[in-house]
Amino acid sequence: MTDSTTTAGTGSPAATSFPIPRKCPHQLPDGYADMRSTGLPLLPVTLFDGGRAWVVTQHPLARRLLSDPRLSSARTHPGFPAISPAERAARPFRSLTEMDGPDHDVHRRMLIPAFTVRRIQEMRPQIQETVDGRLDAMIAKGSPADLVAQFAVHVPSMVICSLLDVPYKDHEFFQALTQRVTQDRGILTADEFKQSIGQIYGYLDQLVTEQEREPGPGLLGLLAAERVAHGTLEHGELVAMGLVLLVAAQETTSSTLSSATLTLLENPEQLARLQADPEMWTGALEELLRFTSVADLGTRRVAAEDIEMDGVVIRAGEGVIIPNSLVNRDPAVFVDPDTLDVGRTARNHLAFGHGVHNCIGQNLSRLVLEVALRTLFERLPGLRLAVPVEELEMSAAGGVQTLTSLPVRW
């Protein structure tokens, strides 16, 4: 370490308490602007249990760190930056998102064929049918409606259930548990979290057992027949894969769908551009992903060994947090970053992460969001808020920033 370097424990700025809740789905949390204004690429923060970690404030450094194999995703490491007591709870599985090195690579390769651009695009007619069906039901029930409860939570859930071959008739059960382990994670005790995640695991454990006996047409059945049956994947590993895909696909895509809708309603001139030129939707989606960045605290790591970058040493065992909404508003990368511009080229955002752990389901999420948003505003061009925006409430306890409801009229 050179004389000019500092560590999280010494010689660094005063540590801010973290995380900082987001009050508005399309604005930075209070305090992020101050972090950004320091000009420092790394800032120390204090976590709920008094532990310390680094927060990355700049986009280029975030990309470099996410490509650095010296950062680990192992949540069982004592230095991993947990944001709530629930995250310290023991789990009955180790998921793909928590693996490093060869284990991660082997498991990820098993899933890649199901999430290629070509394979996902083949699902477009089915996704369109799903979106139309949910809109039909919402419209038939009449205005006003809660876009979250009647549309946003159902579309991603129905799509991932179809892909995995999870019975959608059980959606109320696993959606309630998914919300509990994501949105409510920050207020659960470790025992409550362990119980909830155990219930989801138990449900999928039984489902995978059935798929092993009689494989169905979905991804779980395919992996049961091709991998578990031949000994290249363990039963518990397939259960963990199914759990992560089911939970992640529902929560982040649903939250992005509702937050992106509100963002467009709050930026009518940008919405008008999309309604005048529907060909813009594909590119505009990247800007909406950048702007909303709902999985703000999903990108967290722990240093497996010392890392020196930009005059700061991240010591082995120290946590690193990369808030998506902060690095996706880096003015050095995105001109006027706090302004929504649906014509912007924003493909280099980090809403889906970067490096070996970039979101494997991002092609599916993009397609679901594009079809859902485009169809929503095509069929309901007069969509508007049914309550003042100040009355909308957010939940961010689990790291995913989500609207609890979105009352609309048309």
Asked whether 344 and 334 are in contact (CB, 8 A), the reply is: yes
Q: Nearest to residue 407, comparing CAs of 180, 150, 175, 184?
A: 150
| pLDDT in the model for residue 13 | 62
Separation between Cα atoms, residue 112 and residue 274, nearest integer Å: 32
> What's the pLDDT tens digit per position in 183-242?
666 677 778 888 888 899 999 999 999 999 999 999 999 999 999 999 999 999 999 999
d(CA 46, CA 17): 5
What number is the average pLDDT over the span 258-277? 97
Tell me the helix, strand and coil percentages in the chain, rounded to 5: 50, 10, 40
pLDDT at 2: 33
Q: Report d(CA 31, CA 323) in Å as an integer.
A: 12
Query: Residues 77-106, buried b or exposed e (16+ Cβ, 10 A)?
Result: bebbbbbbbbbebebebbbbbbbbeeebee
> Do 197 and 246 touch, CB atoms closer than 8 A?
no
Q: Which amino acid is at 300?
A: R
Show the tokens assigned to 201.
């695991």
| Cα–Cα distance measured from residue 388 to residue 261, given in angstroms and rounded to the nearest whole number | 15
What band does 12 get if pLDDT is binned at 50, 70 and 90?
low
In 3D space, the residue among 165, 139, 152, 160 whose CA is nearest the CA of residue 217 turns out to be 165
**Closest alpha carbon to 259 in 227, 300, 294, 287:** 294
Take residue 12 and report the two structure tokens written for it: 């660094």
CATH class of 16-409: mainly alpha
Q: Which residue ranges make up each domain of the chain?
A: 16-409
pLDDT above 60: residue 6: no
Q: Kindly state the tokens that stand for 67.
A: 């490509």
Task: Return the sign of the alpha-carbon dihedral for residues 144, 149, 152, 155.
Answer: negative
Angle at 240 between CA 238 and CA 243, to 5 degrees: 110
pLDDT in tens, 127-185: 999 999 999 999 999 999 999 999 999 999 999 999 999 998 888 888 888 777 776 66
32 contacts 337 by C-beta, under 8 angstroms: no
